Homo-oligomer: A and B are copies of this chain.
Amino acid sequence: MTGSPHAPPLACRTLAEAVAALRQRGLRLSTSRKLVLEALFATDNPVSSEHLAGQLGMDLSTVYRNLEEFERQGLVRHVHLGHSPGLYALTGHADREYLYCEQCGAIKALEPHELDTVRDTVHERFGYRARFTHFAIVGTCPECLRG
């Protein structure tokens, strides 16, 4: 979770695919490494390092070291919704972007293309190509706007 620019995404649909890709890049596939990958493939949502370590019964530092390596390879990314710690997900599996309501904490996950209009608007006006995969879009949800 270092501040360095991100590796190009390494999208893998299956565990086998990911293992192959990592092998090809010369990485060793230890038991813990495979467990972390499995866990990431098994869930639909970004998960915390804490959660992974607990669930897999392995040391937090090991989890972090593996996630770090996976991020370096572009296989994994982490997101920040409100003020919470980083949450990790597979790049290819969870290219979602999030709307976070700061009043009620509601989180709306968006499929990869759903923010394209927004992205285009930003691009037209400022020339920046935006990604909302690192920081959620924070605001007020429809319900709280009414209330």
Contact = CB atoms under 8 A, between A and B. Distances in A.
A62 interface: no
Contact of A121 (B121, B128, B129, B131): B121
- Give the size range of A's interface with the partner: 35 or more
Task: Give the most central of A117, A121, A126, A131: most B CB within 10 Å.
Answer: A126
Contacts of A6: 102
Interface of A: 1-3, 5-6, 80, 82-84, 99, 101-103, 108, 110, 114, 117-118, 121-122, 125-132, 134-142, 145
A127 B145 CA distance: 9
A136 B137 contact: no
A137 to B, nearest CB: 5
